Amino acid sequence: MSDRILEVSNIEVVYNHTVQVLRGLSLSVPRGEVVALLGSNGAGKSTTLKAIANILFLENGELSSGSIRFDGDAVGSRPPHRLVRDGLCHVMEGRRVFEDLTVEENLVAAGYASNGGSGRAGQDMVYEYFPQLYSRRRSLAGYLSGGEQQMLAIGRGLLGKPSMMLLDEPSLGLSPMLVEEIFGIIARINREQGVAMLLVEQNANVALALASYGYIMESGRVVIDGTPEKLMADDDVREFYLGSGEAEGESKSYREVKHYKRRKRWLS
């Protein structure tokens, strides 16, 4: 058995037979580890997760070259529901909860696609990680706060007893306090359940604090990768993603950096 649960090798993804989004992207995730995938809007992070989960066809996309292997076998030969039962969980951006169902009904519905996690024991595990969901279990999911919906989305994924989770922007739209709480729970899940994670984030600081390795994407391909220590010491990463300028005490947001400057350093 390989020590890497996910291996993405030189993939290219095209939408509508014309728009190329990923260009020779490669990455891997070791078993039981958290790997961060960082990048600006439009870099191709969410598309990477959709390719791994084999759901590109839902948006008229296709894997035009390269290969993706999850737990030793090719992803392309398995439909999405089979991948879920094989242990791959995809928590999509925007939470995607069933708003007209209660919290408990969301968990019951998710349990039907799980590996035996649909019973009370599976729900109790979710409530243990997310006590707020237990107190709101009779509430419609559409009336939950953004943070509670994110908890529910992750909890639904846990019911499948996954060996790997794809997490797409779990901090999106949440307050710093909620981000800290949810990422603390994500770290617990990784530590206690041994679940490998590929974490897509724009909040580089919180992602690198959790991950053992990181990749940074620009324009559909990886431009730099390494340990969190290596990435946080890189001047470009500090300037573009961590909010630190080259001068001591200088603060600079990513949006303030000219596009041609990024391309000159990384893509030339």
State the pLDDT at residue 115: 56
Backbone Cα Rg of the chain? 19
Q: Does 88 have pLDDT greater than 80?
A: yes
Q: What is the pLDDT of residues 163-179, one digit of tens each?
A: 999 999 999 888 999 99
Is pLDDT larger for residue 118 or for residue 67?
A: 67
CB 218 within 8 A of CB 260: no
The answer to whether the CB of 34 falls within 8 A of the CB of 211 is: yes
CATH class entry, domain 4-87+162-224: alpha beta
99: confidence class by pLDDT, cuts 50, 70, 90:
very high
Instruction: Tell me the pairing of strands 213-218 and 221-226.
Output: antiparallel
Place of tokens 């307050």: 175
Alpha carbon distance, N-terminus to C-terminus of the chain: 39
- Three-class SS of residue 92? coil
Of 27, 152, 160, nearest in space to 89 by CA: 160
The rounded distance, in Å, linking the Cα atoms of 103 and 85 is 22
pLDDT at residue 107 is higher than 50: yes
pTM of the full structure: 0.87
